[in-house]
Amino acid sequence: MTLQPENESPKTGFQKFKSIADKILHPFGKKVKKVPETFFEKVFEFFRSLFSAAIAALFIITFFIQNTRIPTGSMEDTILVGDFILVNKFVYGPSSPKYIPFTEIEIPYFTMPLLKFKDPHHGDIVVFEYPGDKEQLRADEPIPGLPIPEEQIAMNVNYVKRCIGLPGDTIEVRDKVVFVNGKEFWIPPYIKYLSPYPLPKDRVNTQIFPKGKQWNEDNYGPLVIPKRGMTIQLNLENVEEWRTIIDREFAERVVAVKDGIITLKGKEIYSYTFQKDYYFMMGDNRDDSADSRFWGFVSRDMVVGEAFMALFSWDRDIPFSELFRLIGSIRTDRILKLIH
């Protein structure tokens, strides 16, 4: 018979399991955390905890989820002005920051394509970096005679649109109806038009992308979206359509035309093979959206993530100085609302 010490009761099964687990997890004994006692120790502990939380938050924002505020109505009524949208950055493959936080200073970055779940699909609501106007090399490049809206000057401005076309697709808009590869595109449930009447085909909009096309926003294309490895023939008639997108692949002005000869970095060329995949984006508010119809394609490396939820929403026109009125404007029906 086994005798137990007078003041010690037999261990239960759970206590034995806990004892064994403690020995495995803490083979050298548990580390006892010192409780701050002095004022300076408490201050140090506070800032240490604050710093740790900031690092954790930066890690999450960088690789997993971030929020973005919607300043315009180009995605109404799917996404409203004043919505705070959560963006899944992991689904398309996380990447390190391209800019020093809270600045426009570019830094070397890397992507992790092996961790991605998918590439952008038809119908996804995609958050991406604004590539610039159809003639801009970068979003902050000045164009003589073309005023750039203040919200487009910063290099790290994000846009939110719906993915309409994938690399290699052929896009066409006929009397406001979108067709992809000859088939009518899925109609978003909250699509919006300011006018039910399409612009006539012969009413050319000179702001349309690509430069020189005789199209408008309601009757557009057909236009093939470039994909990696796709080769196009270049001539004097179409070089202006492709000049900027080719320049962007090199991050500098490399295409030139002189004496009827097209050159790339000084070497005569008759064709070009694309190095990147591209996407075509449009807003659900079709008549009030500056999108790929006007500024062109979005390269794969400019995609940030997929918008999937409205965290909450309020009236952005109410200043913070009227805090209680601002809080009262919160749209309760949009709190934690999934968007699609």
CA-to-CA distance for 250 and 270, rounded, in angstroms?
18
Helix (H) or strand (E) segment spanning residue 112: none
Confidence check: pLDDT of 180 > 90 = yes
pLDDT digits (tens, 9 = 90+) for 134-171: 999 988 787 666 555 544 445 557 899 999 999 999 99
How is residue 206 written in tokens?
């000179």
pLDDT digits (tens, 9 = 90+) for 303-335: 989 999 998 898 888 888 888 888 889 899 999
Task: Provide the pLDDT for residue 3.
Answer: 43
Interior angle at CA 280, CA 276 and CA 286, nearest 5: 165
Helix (H) or strand (E) segment spanning residue 15: helix 13-25
User: Where does the pLDDT of residue 207 fall: very low under 50, low under 70, confident under 90, or very high at 90 and above?
Assistant: very high
CA-to-CA distance for 239 and 233, rounded, in angstroms?
9
Task: Provide the pLDDT for residue 214.
Answer: 94
Least confident of 94-103, 120-129, 289-298, 304-313: 94-103
Residue at token pair 């979206």? 225
Closest CA relative to residue 97, chosen from 45, 59, 138? 59
Helix (H) or strand (E) segment spanning residue 67: strand 65-69
Task: Work out the mean pLDDT of the chain and round it to a whole number.
Answer: 83
Interior angle at CA 267, CA 262 and CA 272, nearest 5: 65
What's the one-letter identity of residue 340? H
How is residue 255 written in tokens?
């295409």
Q: Which CATH architecture has domain 66-230+274-338?
A: Ribbon (2.10)
CA-to-CA distance for 91 and 117, rounded, in angstroms?
5
* Higher-pLDDT residue of 85, 26: 85
Task: Give, as one character, the DSSP assignment of residue 143.
Answer: B
Task: Provide the pLDDT for residue 22.
Answer: 59
Task: Provide the pLDDT for residue 238.
Answer: 94
What does the domain layout of the chain look like in residue ranges?
66-230+274-338
Dihedral over alpha carbons 39, 43, 49, 54 (to 10 degrees): 170
Task: Provide the pLDDT for residue 151.
Answer: 47
pLDDT digits (tens, 9 = 90+) for 13-62: 555 545 654 554 455 555 555 666 787 777 777 777 777 776 766 666 56
